[in-house]
Amino acid sequence: MRVLLGSFFVLAALLVSSESSRDLHSRYGEPDIERFVVRPGIGLTVEYGSDGQACQMMIEGQKMLIAKEQPPKGMSPDVVSGILDEIVPFSVRGNEVGNAVESMGCSEVHIQEYGNVWISRSTDNCLPLKPDREMGVRICFKRPSCPPNPFSLIAN
């Protein structure tokens, strides 16, 4: 009886097991959003447009998908710059069109507009400066299949 009961629980656990990435892809097709680990403790979330190409990307310290409030995890500016150069090299960005800086207290947001993309970097500039002071980077591509003008501060 114990063996039968134990077998039942094992079989039930197998039937209720979580879906794999392959299972979900075969059932629903390609995702419109994906998250990658680009460096230890640093995630890259990518949202795709109708053409299947990246429209928006977010670089930020890794966090749980479903959790109560989590304090943002800082990142090294040098590491973030390296990731930016990998995923949006200057040859892809185009010429710099303009930039803006917004500061409030210790927080600073620097927005750069290029011919093909906007890049917004959030930094914690409280003194003394922390080595891991980059809080997040948002990259938005300027393509017809992507939402228009996310940064109305510097572009029309």
Residue type for 101, please?
A: V
Q: What is the pLDDT of residues 111-141, one digit of tens each?
A: 999 999 999 999 998 888 888 999 999 999 9
Assigned token pair, 110? 């620097």
37-90 confidence digits (pLDDT tens) = 999 999 999 999 988 899 999 999 987 777 667 777 899 999 999 999 999 999
Strand partners, 152: none
Which structure tokens are listed for 85?
């150069």
* Type and span of the H or E element at 36: strand 33-39
Please tell me the pTM assigned to this model.
0.78
Q: What is the mean pLDDT of residues 90-105?
A: 94
